[in-house]
A and B are shown apart, each in its own frame.
Chain A
């Protein structure tokens, strides 16, 4: 691959001194208070609290009582550009990511037109180099137009910078078609990421199939429509020794299928979304269209299995599947509404409030899983250590807020956590060495 993997808009390298901040970086085994100096966008040094001087031209930031984490990485977002800029664009989507503490994200190719050719990818990357607030990478389509009929020019897409390939949104139904892509991966590399859904089973469904769908009279999407495809494609990946990544697992059976694939030594990885870790089909009872997503929210047993999978490492990382939709598209009866919820701005706070505070997950583990996505795509893991590029998120863990209370950075507001009281506020985000977000009310200046 010749092109730089991630692109971002113009940014000024930061010079910061974060004073007496509690640094948490599980990979570096740091969980203690430090002064942290960022010079020209690089982490220059970590010192004992109160020992580092501000230095010429640097901004001092009071870190007392706050956590400094490596910036999160989201391997699954929809930035809707080109073609659906009324939902989101490169600027608003990456601004939402920055506000959520993310220092990098990968955009899906189910745009209009579909990102299935190198010229399109080049022009999108050019636009990102002007507009993206944080570094973004792009995945190309596996098949032309996501039609599942013929491969895209994967090798050329790779040379133009595609980090991988996916038909997210219109999953590859034919095993034979997918096998060709897996074989072709030997030539071009890149992770093949899979939205797993057997459409013959999920067809006509609007939510998870079970007691709630039966009571509401909504068509059901059975969990086996996902888990059978995970099992099928894991076996294919094993047979072709291909590298695949399963997107947004939603049920216990899929976690089991991934665990079995990993036990075989097959090269598979997977992700889970905050909403599948925190919500269930019970949250759909009110037929709030913000609770309509694909894959759908499943049962409490599924949710617990996903949390357990994330804890034990069967699930490698958290991804938001940030899927913005315009208000008029979601303000319709449930069955008519498009699937998807936004998630970038609430991911950390929702998971911290829902899983860390009640003692289900440790903060360090959550941080690890929210940054692990980068390495799965061959990108450097955000790390808090001297000589590393500064990718940082400063968080007030006690900061309480109501999701959406001051609107959203995203162009869309279809967030399944809207209106919830959350703990954990992102105050400052540094991505690829530049300050990309400051919480408005947060006073960053320290004497």
Chain B
């Protein structure tokens, strides 16, 4: 594996390998000295074009626990605001010879594009509404830990699928791991053609009781340029996961940050069925496993930066 650009690029064995490696790293997190020397002397560059606390800090922690050096570069307050193009920013930062670049942008396909411009391993930490592969990996890890395995499990992804890269990556990853995926939400927020990814589509939560796992999505105010639902009140009335809708044996997931009272009611967030904090915890070990997979040992020789139009 040279890059992690899309969950689409991984097969089931690779996902399982990363998850298993993450489980081994989980043991490190429980030590008093939470550090291993696996990536000593390697440099990981966090390049974030969008606000992010948990993903960025989770990657930073992961890299540090592996003893890598970490440089954080946020687009705000940088040359990007002076109009520097993505390509020029990447080429400039590449001059520092990072071994890996963790990239988050608001643009689909940006991670793949960047992978053609520099020789570092690229980790897609979210590209627009396209993908967020490490989120999918940590969700698989969390579910495997909780359920022992997700083969044949029925997983419902509920809410704003249209604006969610998490939804897209998880639809793909959960199915690769043998689960059956259903997406549900207001018709204005379910993209036309999504069933081509293999999932089922529902407009209501009437059949939610058949689910083993309920994965609620964040109502993404920041990515919504128009009014997609009449009101958050009406959204909550139809799609909020609350004590009434969540069955006693169902596992509840959410990528965070939660809008309490919108997609989730307070009581389910705090219930033992919710694995939301376990997901955050899994974030660090899974990202350790990803960085380890990409950077440990010798990397395959990378092509020289390609100046041509992709």
Contact = CB atoms under 8 A, between A and B. Distances in A.
Interface string B218-238: 000000011000000000000
B193 A214 contact: yes
B192 A334 contact: no
Contact of A414 (B107, B165, B168, B309): B309
A218 interface: yes
A214 B192 contact: yes
A213 B191 contact: yes
Given A290-B309, A331-B309, A336-B107, A215 B112 contact: no
Interface residues of B, number: 28
A335 B108 CA distance: 7
Contacts of A210: 192-193, 196
B109 A214 contact: no
A132 B109 CA distance: 39
Contacts of B128: 217-218, 333, 335
B130 A218 contact: yes
B129 interface: yes
B193 A413 contact: no
A333 B113 contact: yes
Contacts of B112: 287
Contacts of A217: 108, 128-131, 165, 168
Interface string A320-338: 0000000110111111100
B112, B129, B193: most-surrounded residue (chain A CB, <10 A):
B193
Interface string A323-358: 000011011111110000000000000000000000
Interface in B99-142: 105-110, 112-113, 127-131
B191 A214 contact: yes
* Most chain A C-beta atoms within 10 Å of own C-beta, residue among B85, B105, B106, B107: B107
Contacts of B20: none
Interface string B75-94: 00000000001110000000
Contacts of B105: 333
B107 A215 contact: no
B109 A215 contact: no
B85 A209 contact: no
Contact of A211 (B110, B129, B196): B196
A41 B105 CA distance: 57
B192 A220 contact: yes
Given A214-B191, A217-B165, A333 B196 contact: no
Given A218-B130, A220-B192, A333-B105, A204 B168 contact: no
B225 to A, nearest CB: 6
A288 B108 CA distance: 11
Nearest to A333: B107
Contacts of A1: none
Contacts of B226: 204
Contact of A334 (B108, B168, B309): B108
A360 interface: no
A219 B107 CA distance: 11
B33 interface: no
Given A209-B193, A214-B193, A214-B196, A330 B107 contact: no
A332 B106 CA distance: 12
A216 interface: yes
A214 B110 CA distance: 17
B129 A218 contact: yes
B197 interface: yes
The 4 closest A-B pairs by CB, nearest first: A333-B107, A211-B196, A217-B129, A287-B109
12 contacts: A209-B193, A210-B192, A213-B192, A214-B194, A288-B310, A332-B87, A333-B105, A333-B127, A334-B109, A335-B106, A335-B128, A414-B309
Interface of B: 85-87, 105-110, 112-113, 127-131, 165, 168, 191-194, 196-197, 225-226, 309-310
Interface of A: 204, 206, 209-220, 222, 287-290, 327-328, 330-336, 413-414
Given A215-B193, A215-B197, A219-B129, 4 more contacts: A217-B129, A327-B309, A333-B110, A414-B309
